[in-house]
Amino acid sequence: MTTPAAAPVPYAEFDGHPATEDDLRTAAFFNYGHFTAMQVREGRVRGLRLHLDRLDGANRALFELPLDGRRVRELIRHALRGAGVVDGSVRVHGFLPPGATATTVMVTVRGPARMPTGPKSMMSVPYARTVPHLKRPGEFGQTYYGNLASRAGFDDAVLTLPDGSVTEGSFTNIGFWDGDSVVWPQAPALLGTTMALLEQEFPGMGVRSRHSPVTLDGLGAYRSAFVTNSQGMAPVRRIDDTAFTVDEELMRRLEAAYERAPWDTV
């Protein structure tokens, strides 16, 4: 028997059917909505409940409508089958096109991805996202400042408030290590799923963590730093002119904590 060929990636479905031109116009011209991004391996996801809760919460906040997790799981499974893969980078988007009374769900599938693990240099930029607790498409400011940092010779940008408070990376959470605890900036930011999973698993690893204000002029108080997102984590070697120790033991402990998080079948 001949195995069916996998669909070209990126692959997209809308409400369980392969994307049509009309569907893609919705995404292109009406991008008021929300999404979550996840890495799928063998049909499983770490922190799936966090992703489903994020989608439901954002859908209620934007459209005053629930987004049923069982429906979302079925749409993800259907899109993976349509793409002919069990491993991939999956995004689930929620839209409410003009005149619609039910949320349109777009699921996209790309190849698997992992964050490069090399130490990152980051440039501070004066930018704060609107309603940062919601994950939304079309984030011009984050992309703009990320590109600006790249052109200046940095790997990425770190977002800051007018008072110099550090909030998050352009598309990452950022954490700091003071030699005793992981410190997450106490500031408006998206709660990333990898960050949430680390916090969930830290107690079992004997790792302390806390949320506390972090400012650019106070970066010298921290020995090391790192960033996380759905693709993994990486150490930070400097922010602007402040250098950090690339602590390989710390990164091993973070990876071990993340590996403790269970896989959920989609």
Across 79-95, b (16+ Cβ under 10 Å) vs e yields bbebbebeebbbbbbbb
Adjacent-strand bridge partners of 94: 34, 105
pTM: 0.94
The reply to whether omega before 10 is within 30° of 0 (cis) is yes
Burial of 35 (0-12, 13-18, 19+ CB in 10 A): buried
Domains, the chain, in order of start with CATH, read 11-110 (3.30.470.10), 120-260 (3.20.10.10)
Q: Would you give per-residue pLDDT tens digits along the chain (266 residues)?
A: 444 456 666 899 999 999 999 999 888 888 899 999 999 999 999 999 999 999 999 999 999 999 999 999 999 999 999 999 999 999 999 999 888 999 999 999 999 999 999 999 999 999 999 999 999 998 899 999 999 999 999 999 999 999 999 999 999 999 999 999 999 999 999 999 999 999 999 999 999 999 999 999 999 999 999 999 999 999 999 999 999 999 999 999 999 999 999 999 99
Token pair 């929300």 is found at: 34
Token pair 């600006």 is found at: 148
